[in-house]
Structure 1
Amino acid sequence: MSDIRVKIDGVAMAAPDKVLTNKDLEKIVDTSDEWIRTRTGMVERRISDEHTAASDIVLKACEKLFKKSSLRTRDIDLIIVATVTPDHAFPSTACILQTKLGIPHCPAFDISAGCTGFIYAITIAKQFIENGAATNALVVGVELLTKITNWTDRNTCVLFGDGAGAALITQAHKGEISEIIDTYISSDGRYGDLLIMRGGGSRNPTSKETVEKNMHTLYMEGNKIFKIAVKSMGDAAVKILERNGFTGEDLDWLIPHQANLRIIDATAKRIRLLPQKVIINIEKYGNTSSASIPLAFAEAIDDGRIRRGDLIVLDAFGAGLTWGSVLLRY
C-alpha cells in the first residue's frame, strides 16, 4: 500500500448563461411547472448555445480553478475528463482541453461512466498519484446534455441541463488534514439498455435512418432507473462509510449526483443524514450528469458551507449502469 496521501486541492464550476425554466418547458411539451417540481425538484436548467462545445465550458471552470489555487497549469501531469457529450468522438476532449490550457506532454484522456463519471475519474487520479505516476491531476466532469435531449419526450427533456466542474487532485503534504480517504466504484452492464444513446457508434453508425428515428438522443426508462438508482446510491454510501468506520452521523456533508430530489432524499435517509447536511442545487441546474457533483461541490465551497476539514461523501449513479462513492476530508 502506498504511503502517498491524496487530496482535493480545490473545485470550480461553470455553466451557460441561458436559463430554461419549467414555465418555458410548458410551451415546448405537454408538462407543467407543478408536475416537474413534484417529481424531480427541478425549477430551471442551463442551456448552451449551438456554438458551445464541452471543452469551451470546462475551460471556464478550469480558469476559475487555477485562479483559486497555488498550482499553475505547468504543474499538471494528468488530465481526465468524464463526459458522455465530448467535443468529438476523437480526439478526446481531454486532449483538446490540454491544448487550450497550454499543458504539453502529459497523459490526457476521457472516460465514459455516465453520471458516475466524476467519481470514476477521481478514483483513477487517486491511483495514478498513489502509484507515483502523477503528482497533480486535473479531473473534470462536463456535460452538454441538452445537445442530445429529445425535446419531444416530456419524460426526459425536463430533466437535463449543461454545466462543468473541475477539481485539482494532488499529493497531500505531511500534517495536512485534507485527504481522499477512500473510493468505491462498481457497474452492472446487464441494465445498459435502460439508459442509452443508440445512434452514432459502430453498432448504429450515423445515417439518415438513425437521425429520423431519433437515435442520437438520450433514451431512458425512468421508472426502472429510479428503483435501481435509489438502491445503488444508498448501497454505495453505506459501503464507503462502513468500511472506513464511519456512520452518517459523522458526516458534515453528502454531495449526491443531482438526478432527482426523491433519489437524493432516499439516499440521505438510508444513511440517517439530516436534510440540512445534503448539498442540493438541482433546482438551479437540473441533471448535469458527470458535472453535477463538482458543480454542487464548487458552489458549496464558494458560499462558505463547505470548509477545510469537513468530512464528505460524494455519491452517484449513472449509465452503464454505474455507481460509486468517495469519502474525503476536504
Structure 2
Amino acid sequence: DWRDRSTAVLFGDGSGAAVLKRSKHGKGILSTYFRSDGNLAQLLHRRAGGAAQPFDAAALADRSFYIEMEGREVFKHAVRSMADACDRALDGAKLTGADIDLLIPHQANIRIIEATAKHAGIPMEKVFVNVDRYGNTSSASVPMALEEAMASGRVTDGSTVLLVAFGAGFTWASLVVRF
C-alpha cells in the first residue's frame, strides 16, 4: 500500500527453498527451535486475503488486503523472540555464539539484526546481511541469504551456521546446521 509509508518501503520480493539430504556423521541439522503466538497477530497482519476473505475488489477498495503493522511493537517482539530462538538452538546443539561461523538472521531491518547478533554473542563480521540490497523479503529472507552466503564462500564445508527467523502471526524459529 503505497499510501502507508510505514510498510510500503520496507518489503521486497523473493522466494527460496532448501533441499535436504542425508549427511555424514557430524554434519547436518544439529538443533531446531520453533514457536508461535497467535495472540500477537494483530500487530502485523492483513485483514483480508486467504480462504477466510479472498481477495476481491471490495478488499482492495477498503484497503483490508494491505499489510498493517504496529512497527515499534513488532520490533520489540522480533528482537526478544529472535534472541530467545538463538539461545534455544545454541543450547540444543550444546554450542555458544563463539562456536558459530555465520549467523543468517531474518532480514527485517539492520537494527533487529544487530540486536540479535549482540544477544547471541556473535560479532557483526560473522553475520550475513543483505537487507540493504533487497529489503525485507519476508519468509524468503533466510533462504535467499543462505544461498547468497554459500555462493559468496561465506558458508563452506564444515561451517557451523545459525539461522533465525521471525514472522507474522507471530512465529519465530532457529536452526543450527553444520555444512
For the aligned pair, the TM-score class normalised by the smaller chain equals over 0.9
Letter of the 1:266 counterpart: A
Number of the residue aligned with 1:182: 31
The answer as to 2:48 corresponding to 1:166 is no
The answer as to 2:93 corresponding to 1:244 is yes
SS at match of 1:239: helix
The Cα of 1:267 is off from its aligned counterpart by 0.4
Structure 2, unpaired ranges of 5+? none
Which is higher, the Rg of structure 1 or of structure 2?
A: 1
Change (3 A) 1:206 1:280: closer
SS at match of 1:169: coil
Number of the residue aligned with 1:133: none
- Judge conservation of contact 2:102–2:154 (CA < 8 Å) in 1: no
The one of 44, 51, 56 equivalent to 1:195 is: 44
- Judge conservation of contact 1:194–1:224 (CA < 8 Å) in 2: yes
Letter of the 1:243 counterpart: G
The answer as to 2:146 corresponding to 1:297 is yes
For 2:57 and 2:28, how far apart are their aligned partners in 1?
Answer: 50
- Tell me the percent identity: 46
For 2:45 and 2:6, how far apart are their aligned partners in 1?
Answer: 15
The Cα of 1:203 is off from its aligned counterpart by 4.1
Change (3 A) 1:166 1:202: closer
Equivalences for 1:148-297 in 2 at 5 Å?
A: 150-173=1-24, 175=25, 177-297=26-146
TM-score, normalised to structure 1, is 0.52
The Cα of 1:178 is off from its aligned counterpart by 2.4
SS at match of 1:184: strand
Equivalences for 1:1-330 in 2 at 5 Å?
A: 150-173=1-24, 175=25, 177-330=26-179
The Cα of 1:204 is off from its aligned counterpart by 3.6
TM-score, normalised to structure 2, is 0.94
Deviations 1:10-34 (A, max 9, x none): xxxxxxxxxxxxxxxxxxxxxxxxx
- Judge conservation of contact 2:32–2:92 (CA < 8 Å) in 1: no
For 2:120 and 2:54, how far apart are their aligned partners in 1?
Answer: 44
For 1:276 and 1:201, how far apart are their aligned partners in 2?
Answer: 40
For 1:315 and 1:307, how far apart are their aligned partners in 2?
Answer: 19
Deviations 1:244-266 (A, max 9, x none): 22110111010000001000000
- Judge conservation of contact 1:252–1:312 (CA < 8 Å) in 2: yes
The Cα of 1:205 is off from its aligned counterpart by 4.5
For 2:106 and 2:37, how far apart are their aligned partners in 1?
Answer: 18
For 1:201 and 1:245, how far apart are their aligned partners in 2?
Answer: 40
Change (3 A) 1:206 1:167: closer
For 1:168 and 1:321, how far apart are their aligned partners in 2?
Answer: 25
Letter of the 1:180 counterpart: I
For 1:203 and 1:162, how far apart are their aligned partners in 2?
Answer: 24
Deviations 1:190-232 (A, max 9, x none): 0111111111345444454322111111111111100000000
- Judge conservation of contact 1:178–1:308 (CA < 8 Å) in 2: no
For 2:51 and 2:20, how far apart are their aligned partners in 1?
Answer: 34
- Judge conservation of contact 1:232–1:317 (CA < 8 Å) in 2: yes
